[in-house]
Amino acid sequence: MSYVDEVLELVKEKNASEPLFIQAVTEVFESLKPVIEANEALYRREAILERITEPERQIKFRVPWVDDNGQVRVNTGYRVQFNSAIGPYKGGLRLDKSVTLGMLKFLGFEQVFKNALTTLPMGGGKGGCDFDPKGKSDREIMAFCQSFMTELCKHIGADTDVPAGDLGTGGREIGYMFGQYKRLKNVYEGVLTGKGLTFGGSLARTEATGYGLLYFTKEMLACNGIDIAGKTAAVSGSGNVAIYAIQKAEQMGAKVVTCSDRKGWIYDPEGVDYKILKDIKEVKRTSLAEYVNYRPNAKYTAKAEGDNMDHGVWTVKVDLALPCGRENTIDLEDAKNLVANGVTAVAEGANMPTNLEATKYFQENGVLFAPGKASNAGGVATSGLEMSQNSERLSWSFEEVDAKLHDIMVSIFHAADDAAKKYGMEGNYVAGANIAGFEKVVNAMLAQGVC
Ligand code: NDP
Ligand code: 2IT
């Protein structure tokens, strides 16, 4: 058995109860085969694949807090410090009732390669909690965040591990967590990114993942002789990534006709109005069903209770698909629908929103496919720029940060494109991104010896 297959079997055996982690490792390992084969003896002796799939540290802790009725509630918090070969651990905190260690291992593993692609010195990590922020008062959110940080603060620091937002964690939560960190440690440092602008946050961080997704997509299309202007697009999700992806798509002359939340999705033939969406989801924190009250020509379709997929969104005829909700929301049937409707490109705003079968189907049917670890790297890249600003105790203008973000996304596309070409897989940006990220991390690991 080849070294890659051997370690993949080991990972499956060792992490049998963590299907998301296995899925992420499988995707990466499949595309690394040519690189590993070229260095098989060295990588085997150095146990590179065993080391890269084993988090350096995993922290699991109790998070007790008091709700508005005086009832004590208990959640489980985690931080997975996956790999620090190229810099301090860096990655978001997910707050969602579905959070498990396996989910955070998948996200942390992806983050290692994503962060390497940004060209900035950041290792990979991820954390979160099975806390459900839905329907909680501001006071309950604060109580939870303070309790979560009371334990987390023992394990993080501006030069050790720098968490940020992710699904369910936005500016409000980061603010409460930052306040508690400062209070407990008596240090004012850039320990979190995505902070408010008055306390060390960076301009353009809020917009960065969505904007970056479009900068990447535009470059990928342009390098394949396609102009993004005039194209129609389907977006899924309606949170931080989706909102600013829709805004930037509009600025580039593309029209986004769908978006979704957990309960349903909308089709707006005139193009989704991101300002209305922002008001509904970011300010009022309510349901997407509200959208049709402002745009009577739009149509809202409710999902069945407990449906975790975005099937409806992917039945709409579009040129571009931009999944920005969460993992595994495009399956093979969705991929077939999109291809039958003539989709040109799929670019992932979320982490692993396309399952393995669907990804393969897109690639086999000539669809340009951008994997999240490359196309959604704009968020963490701008977090890296926030860290730089915090270190030099300066704030850069929106234009300066946005220009750097743009250049980073273009360079990520070319790193993935070049790596794919180097190994004879031209146009396979999944393989290209995995190889480019892997080579950087592994070179650093080898240079640092057995650790
Ligand atoms: P948010 O919490 O801001 O938004 C998530 C959105 O996805 C919400 O609209 C939510 O619906 C929706 N959603 C959640 N589950 C489903 C589902 N099963 N079907 C359809 N929609 C769903 O998170 P973000 O926008 O920050 O994150 C979205 C994705 O992007 C995640 O995969 C995250 O890991 C990834 N990402 C985020 C980055 C960031 O900087 N924030 C950076 C890079 C990647 P509802 O409104 O009903 O809750
Ligand atoms: O998945 C991601 O890249 C993020 N949630 C952003 C992480 C960060 O540190 O900004």
Q: Which of 221, 228, 234 is nearest to 367 (CA)?
A: 221
Q: How far apart are CA 115 and CA 123, in angstroms?
A: 7
Q: Say which ligand is closest to the CA of 311.
A: 1
Contacting residues for 345 by C-beta, under 8 A, at least 6 apart: 217, 220, 221, 226, 319, 320, 321, 367, 368, 369, 370
Please give the pLDDT value at position 269. Answer: 98
The answer to whether residue 303 is domain-embedded is yes
Please indicate whether residue 126 is annotated as part of the active site: yes
How far does the chain reach from its first CA to its final CA, in angstroms? 26
- Looking at the structure, do residues 228 and 345 belong to the same domain, yes or no? yes
Which protein residue's CA is at the shortest distance from atom 40 of ligand 1? 379
Cα–Cα distances in Å, from 152 out to 80, 268, 287, 316?
11, 42, 32, 43
Please give the pLDDT value at position 305. Answer: 87
Q: Is the CB of 351 under 6 A from ligand 2?
A: yes
The rounded Å distance from CA 34 to ligand 1 centre is: 34
Q: Is the CB of 164 under 6 A from ligand 2?
A: yes
The answer to whether residue 287 is domain-embedded is yes
Which protein residue's CA is at the shortest distance from atom 4 of ligand 2? 92
- Looking at the structure, do residues 173 and 218 belong to the same domain, yes or no? no
Q: How far apart are CA 129 and CA 80, in angstroms?
A: 12
Please give the pLDDT value at position 102. Answer: 98
Q: What residue numbers bound the domain in which 123 lies?
A: 57-189
The answer to whether residue 219 is domain-embedded is yes
The CATH number that applies at residue 122 is 3.40.50.10860
Asked if 380 and 90 touch (Cβ cutoff 8 Å), the reply is yes
- Looking at the structure, do residues 75 and 123 belong to the same domain, yes or no? yes
- Using most ligand atoms within 8 A of CB, pick from 326, 331, 405, 412 the residue to mutate for ligand 1: 326
Q: Is the CB of 161 under 6 A from ligand 2?
A: no
Please give the pLDDT value at position 306. Answer: 85
- Looking at the structure, do residues 216 and 290 belong to the same domain, yes or no? yes
Positions in the chain whose pLDDT score sits under 50: none
Query: If you average pLDDT over every residue of the chain, what do you get?
Result: 98
The rounded Å distance from CA 323 to ligand 1 centre is: 10
> Could you identify the atom of ligand 1 that is nearest to the CA of residue 372?
44
- Looking at the structure, do residues 264 and 117 belong to the same domain, yes or no? no
The answer to whether residue 437 is domain-embedded is no
- Looking at the structure, do residues 172 and 252 belong to the same domain, yes or no? no
Between strands 368-370 and 345-347, the pairing is: parallel
The answer to whether residue 202 is domain-embedded is no
Q: How far apart are CA 354 and CA 332, in angstroms?
A: 9
Q: How far apart are CA 253 and CA 229, in angstroms?
A: 4
The answer to whether residue 95 is domain-embedded is yes
Q: Is the CB of 175 under 6 A from ligand 1?
A: no
Asked if 125 and 160 touch (Cβ cutoff 8 Å), the reply is no
Q: How far apart are CA 265 and CA 257, in angstroms?
A: 11
The answer to whether residue 61 is domain-embedded is yes
Residues 78-108 have pLDDT tens digits of 999 999 999 999 999 999 999 999 999 999 9
Amino acid (one-letter) located at 16 = A
Asked if 46 and 7 touch (Cβ cutoff 8 Å), the reply is no
The CATH number that applies at residue 347 is 3.40.50.720
Q: How far apart are CA 90 and CA 82, in angstroms?
A: 9
Report the number of distinct structural domains present in the chain: 2
Catalytic residue among 90, 105, 114, 126: 126
The rounded Å distance from CA 305 to ligand 1 centre is: 18
The pTM assigned to this predicted structure is 0.98
Q: Is the CB of 401 under 6 A from ligand 2?
A: no
The answer to whether residue 41 is domain-embedded is no
Q: Is the CB of 355 under 6 A from ligand 1?
A: no
> Could you identify the atom of ligand 1 that is nearest to the CA of residue 165?
41
- Looking at the structure, do residues 236 and 290 belong to the same domain, yes or no? yes
Q: Which residues pair with 59 in a beta bridge?
A: 79
Helix axes 3-14, 19-38, angle to 10 degrees: 160
